Structure 1
């Protein structure tokens, strides 16, 4: 009897749970943890949240905009948002004034802390950022000891689907995160492997290796050139000439990219700057003397124009917090005569903009 009872009880529970699931509105977020039915996303792209906190006096959802959550008879706090734009959004809960992560969601390092995240589906037919039935590459992790930091560091490395199937060498994109994030950002929030797998499968991008380094370092340029690149070139099958190297970054990573390529134009042929630009009037010196770089460009503009096969700059519209810095920088570029390509898309200073930027930039590389 016992042998029959336990499986029957489990089956009854499972069927009941399945029946309950089908009655809920919308679909689970792709970042909801295994057993949780929340957060959920409705067909009109509103997000539904529920958290059990029977002893709390107040709970808010902080999604950039704050939403008041209401408590039901079971001690669960609930709310539904306005319609949200497609792509990844950070969020947190504010419980009695304390910002905490949602126990029903995966967490991500962003905004200089661990944050919950939700992804809103893209339009039907837009599979650029969707896990698809195509050959898949890998995200690998490599640890190394940094003399600059006097401690252990790590890089995340995307290798294309063909990497373990041949002996070919591949070009490399060094891809940097923004401030308050780290080397995990592009592989997790950014969906780097999914974007590249889909592009390569359609023949819209060449197979390449992408290296994602922690940019939170005392000297980014030296950490990249003296430690990261030698490590990559001694560990992976990569092409080592300038025309097979690209450097790109978002926000803080964009400024690090600018500083590095202006000082070292003979190392990279492709440059990507996403949602970034040197600070106007350089109100702080955190990222170096801005005028120094403008002077270098002015003194040898032809060398820089010939050096970069792509100098690609993107911005998340006027709502992007880096918008005016970028526009002022481009104005200076125009006066000097620096050639660049500019792309703008709505979305502000957010991961949907940076995913779009990587998608478009990757198609231009190494061709």
Structure 2
């Protein structure tokens, strides 16, 4: 009787597993999307027999002006898919430049990911598909057959914030078996990001692996903190667990992060083999992270020899009243007088922060503060920031 019961339970479990596997199989569609052609054009496909209109939107299309929480900004354009046989909609792009692109579908007004593409990224609370067109600069964003570094998610104690916090750290290939000490790049995200942003959206590990393998960048540790001081970790990864990420949360640009940044440096220099001197420290960030970079490097004026401001959010803020933001001109001059090796500023010519960055450049020129300036095409986008990282990292150390 007992053996008969066990046999029956096994039979039912097998049926259940088989049914689930068949369900997953039947849900799958034999559709290739996106299909990257030899000439670097791309075809998108979607099986939606009952839809009346399907569009694709992504950063491979000409940009359009859009209203955002930060004002009027460039956003991705849209293109119409055409319905073909068996209810499959298609759109083929012109030849695309080498790059990493994101996209999504709109089906009868409803936004959707591409069910034929399992590769996704989250930017704040938006989830989109991605694809890479190689054969050029975007080869840096690919995982190639080369030595790879290690990415660790660590927790560090922040006495200044009164909590343990999550941090992402990249160590270069061979770090674990080496006795060498390494320089450090502190890489800061923008508003709405977290300690996952530069890794997922910025492709930091792939960029560093490839640059190091090509001999274009020195092996270095890259530290990617969470700049949202009321969080202990990214949404879904910290003690608040799963909740919807927000673009701006309290205390992100009020001086608290900058004023407690030494907690991060102390953790890194106590737990990793690093060269703990000014010549071996770099700091860079995008947008809000560029704002943080400007003020952290000025507030600790003899700490970093390399600074990178990527599309920096240089703007007056009503909550910027703390000690960190006081005596701006004096502390900036102290940073200049202490000397450094690189103060690097980059921005797109259609970025909504372009004017503010030009005004800051004029200020630096007026006070005789050495700096390098790079102006690219485009706006306030990861498409630019990935490129800036790949240009900035080879200049370090």
Same fold (TM over 0.5): yes
1:274 to partner: Cα distance: 0.9
Which of 262, 267, 271 is the aligned partner of 1:225? 262
Q: State how 1:149-188 maps to structure 2 within 5 Å.
A: 153-188=165-200
Q: Does 1:115 pair with 2:128?
A: yes
Closer, same or farther: CA 163–322 of 1 in aligned 2, 3 Å: same
- How many Å apart are 1:334 and its aligned residue? 1.3
Q: How does 1:314-353 map to 2 (within 5 A)?
A: 314-316=346-348, 318-353=349-384
Cα distance in 2 for residues equivalent to 1:300 and 1:60: 49
- Structure 1 counterpart of 2:274, from 213, 235, 238: 238
CA contact (8 A) 1:246 1:268 kept: yes
Q: Distance in 2 between matches of 1:100 and 1:357?
A: 30
RMSD over aligned Cα atoms: 3.0
1:305–1:339 CA contact under 8 A, matched in 2: no
Partner Cα distance (1:339, 1:255) in 2: 18
Q: Give the equivalent residue in structure 1 for 2:318.
A: 285
Question: 5 Å matches for 1:1-367?
Answer: 37-63=32-58, 64-103=76-115, 104-123=117-136, 127-144=139-156, 153-217=165-229, 218=251, 219-226=256-263, 228-279=264-315, 282=316, 284-285=317-318, 288=320, 296-298=328-330, 301=333, 303-316=335-348, 318-366=349-397
Gaps of 5+ in 2: 1-27, 59-75, 230-250
Q: 1:89 to 1:235 in 2, by over 3 A?
A: same
Q: Quote the offset at 1:209 in angstroms.
A: 0.3
Q: Give the distance between the partners of 2:291 and 2:29, measured in 1 at CA.
A: 38
1:58 and 1:105 mapped to 2: Cα distance?
Answer: 23
Cα distance per residue 1:16-65 (max 9 Å; x no partner): xxxxxxxxxxxxxxxxx998621122344333211223333332212101
Distance 2:158 2:211 in 1: 33
Structure 1, unpaired ranges of 5+: 1-32
The count of corresponding residues between Structure 1 and Structure 2 is 326
Distance 2:135 2:337 in 1: 37
Q: CA deviation at 1:253?
A: 1.0
- Does the CA-based 8 Å contact 2:132-2:138 persist in structure 1? no
Q: 1-side partners of 2:152 and 2:30: how far apart?
A: 27
- Cα distance change, pair 115–152 in 1 and its aligned pair in 2 (3 A): farther
Contact 1:93 1:99 in 2 (8 A): yes
Question: Deviation digits for residues 274-325 of structure 1, max 9, x if unmatched?
Answer: 122412xx2x436x369x9695335662642433221111122x12232222
Partner of 2:93: helix, strand, or coil?
strand
Report the secondary structure of 2:85's partner residue: coil
The whole-number CA distance in structure 1 between the counterparts of 2:204 and 2:39 is 26
- Give how far 1:206 is off: 1.7
Q: 1:54 to 1:195 in 2, by over 3 A?
A: same
- Alpha carbons 1:86, 1:352 under 8 Å: kept: no
**Local SS of the residue matching 2:219:** coil
- Aligned to 1:178, the other structure's residue is in SS state coil
How far did 1:133 drift?
A: 3.4
Hey, what's the Cα distance between the residues in 2 that align with 1:241 and 1:311? 17
- Indicate conservation of the 8 Å contact 1:92/1:99, yes or no: yes
Structure 1 residues 68 and 111: CA distance shift in structure 2, 3 A: farther
Contact kept, 8 Å, 1:301 with 1:337, in 2: the verdict is no
Residues 223 and 75 (structure 1 numbering): CA distance in 2 closer, same or farther, change over 3 Å?
farther
